[in-house]
Chains A and B, each alone.
Chain A
Amino acid sequence: MGRIQLKQVKKAFGDVTVIPPLDLEIEDGEFVVFVGPSGCGKSTLLRLIAGLEDVTGGVIEIDGADATGLPPAKRGLAMVFQSYALYPHMSVRKNIAFPMKMAGVPQDEQEKRISDAARALNLTDYLDRRPGQLSGGQRQRVAIGRAIVREPSAFLFDEPLSNLDAALRVGMRMEISELHEKLETTMIYVTHDQVEAMTMADKIVVLQAGVVEQVGTPLDLYRAPQNRFVAGFIGSPKMNFIEGPEAANHGAHAIGIRPEHLDASTESGAWKGRVGVSEHLGSDTFLHVHDTGLAETMTVRVDGEFGLHAGDDVWLTPDPDKIHKFDAKGLRIT
């Protein structure tokens, strides 16, 4: 079981409030991602759940029981750190065995769980090495192995992939998702990378300055962002925002349209502009269009073979069903 509830949880460091009172429910078996820009309080929130920081106010319940005052060890949670935080003086085997040793798991049971975890994480050949002799990806797998063998009620991941190179990151992302499907254990995952959030999460919690901006499935957030912050944060490249008369035509203070929902043409369209920088990714090209009179730059996704160059004229047409409308406070108008 791994149902976690935060009730009016608050955190302040001295006079500085990093997390104003916040409510959040995490269901058993859910993969929840906390996402937000640096310094938004997502790691602090995770550390509050872990028990590594004390709350300033409010209640944290794990499986219905008050865990607010419990030390980390008593909460039945396992954590994977950004720096892996392996014990450098212990072999991989001993690293993985450590939580079981602390819990007094019998020796033969320990052996069994270690070999199971090693097999699942492709670590069997490395069990007798020290962490210093492993690559970044292998170290991360050891850290995950150390978390698995505890059979925790929930896993906490604190930006676990940010020290890995891009290719490895995609692979580990898959592995963690597969692990979640296999174990069906609650996972809370902190990242600043919205791609990780979109691809892995059952539920995304978007945070800014300690405040929950929106909670929902990845597609909910993509299709119906509650405010301009979420609209701009989720999706890559960022949503284009247009204010002024064009927005007023739609009865809004500002409208937003994603790069993939703009159609580009060399002949005709709703808005005329001039191509600035174009980023060729192979399958797609992102055009940065200037001089539209709407916003400084409009980003458009076009086909990889779309033959336009800097300085060329281009016409843009938005998909009318995909226009997001926001009021003066930045909230969504439905």
Chain B
Amino acid sequence: MARAVTPSRKAFTTVVAGLLGLMMFFPVLWIFILSFKSEGDAIKAPMEILFNTGWTTESYGAVQERSDYFKHFWNSVIISVGSTVLGLAVAIPAAWAMAFVPGKRTKDVLMWMLSTKMLPPVGVLVPIYLIFRDLGLLDSRVGLVFVLMMINLPIIIWMLYTYFREIPGEILEAARMDGASLRNEVIYVLTPMAVPGMASTMLLNVILAWNEAFWTLNLTAANAAPLTAFIASYSSPEGLFYAKLSAASVMAIAPILIMGWFSQKQLVRGLTFGAVK
């Protein structure tokens, strides 16, 4: 039975939810505000920054002048899209097999894959760094595509697995009865039904790869550096450049924020899929 919701209770929960939302969004908002201040103003006390300082776009100009935004942007695009496409190419057959032809150890395999996410990445930094050095993959986009693909693979496989599991077996049997060969079953029945799941998996993975900072910072120098390195270059030993750092951050997160905004319905559906029937 649904609990009765009194107006005051509703108002209270609305306020609490609003505050929580603000808390989560506040850092992004603050970065946005700081990016439109001069370096001198940006280090003042918060209240002063909000009410007693002027607005300027000089940081954006300075950032663009000092480092090549578009180079980093393209590196981010190539690395996140590349690792996602490669990840899906590996994960789709894997998830497919586990969902439709589960074996005795399917659950164990899934758990084992997920367990790799429990290891702190820094634990394998040295070996991976050395391997990359020997293979000449340091500071290369190809190397990053591989690393990010492997980092996110367990999540892609899990998501796809839950999606594929939701496709009723009887529909596949119906296709078989209707005379579809395995190839046609895959092309005409399975794939169209699996596409929404693949799409939200892809979206999530692009976002994860775009925001990934540990590996991208440690394995790149100049050539393959994505936007994460672009941001990091403004928190340097030379001193604090709050305004420029903020401007760089806004420029780095804007594309993915816009993409996420337009695809949020698909994303939420993807993340909660199978949770509620």
State the A residues within 8 Å of B (CB). 50, 52, 71-73, 77-79, 81-83, 85-89, 98-99, 102-103, 146, 150
Contacts and interface: CB of A to CB of B under 8 A. Distances in A.
The 3 closest A-B pairs by CB, nearest first: A99-B178, A85-B174, A102-B179
Interface stretch (B184-192, B212-220, B257-265): B184-192
Nearest to B192: A89
A52 B173 contact: yes
B177 A73 contact: yes
Which of A73, A81, A150: most chain B CB closer than 10 A?
A: A73
A75 to B, nearest CB: 9
A85 B185 CA distance: 14
A73 B172 CA distance: 12
Given A73-B179, A99-B178, A150-B178, A87 B189 contact: yes
B177 A72 contact: yes
Interface string B175-207: 111111100100011001100000000000000
A7 to B, nearest CB: 23
B177 A79 contact: yes
A71 B180 CA distance: 10
Contacts of A99: 178-179
Contacts of A78: 177-178
A296 B177 CA distance: 49
Nearest to A152: B177
Contact of A87 (B171, B176, B177, B179): B171
Contacts of B189: 87
B188 A98 contact: yes
Contacts of A85: 168, 170-171, 173-174
A100 to B, nearest CB: 9
6 contacts: A72-B177, A78-B177, A82-B170, A83-B168, A87-B189, A98-B178
Contacts of A50: 177
Interface string B143-179: 0000000000000000000000000101101111111
A77 B177 contact: yes
A78 B176 CA distance: 10
B77 to A, nearest CB: 30
Contacts of B168: 83, 85
A105 to B, nearest CB: 10
Which of A50, A82, A85: most chain B Cβ within 10 A? A85
Contacts of A98: 175, 178, 180, 188
Given A73-B177, A87-B171, A87-B189, 17 more contacts: A50-B177, A52-B176, A52-B177, A72-B177, A73-B180, A77-B177, A79-B174, A79-B177, A81-B170, A81-B174, A85-B171, A85-B174, A86-B171, A87-B174, A87-B188, A89-B193, A102-B178
